[in-house]
Amino acid sequence: AQAVVLSGGEERLTLALARARSPRADLLVFDPESLDGSVYEAVMSGQPTPVGATCRLCAHFDCAWRREPAAVSQ
């Protein structure tokens, strides 16, 4: 479980599960309002990780994980 903030400023909770002996994985994305009263509500109280759709479309220009230049401008 990881709290993330998208390039547009929206916060989400992501849950990812890798499959044994497979390159496939499952990813669920939740908006914070749907987490009230759930066990994942505490995850959203921390500092979210900035993420973008892809490096080319991400507006988080100071990202240490960037693999290619952004196509969007600052």
Output the pLDDT for position 13.
92
Q: Give the DSSP H/E element, type plus range, for residue 26.
A: strand 25-30
pTM: 0.71
* pLDDT at residue 4 in the model: 92
> Can you list the residues of the chain whose pLDDT is less than 50?
none
Whether 74 and 61 have beta carbons less than 8 Å apart is answered as yes
Pairing label, strands 49-50, 2-5: parallel
Round to the nearest angstrom and report the end-to-end CA distance of the chain.
30
Q: Locate tokens 């497979």: which residue?
A: 22
* pLDDT at res. 12: 92
Q: Residue 4, SS3? A: strand
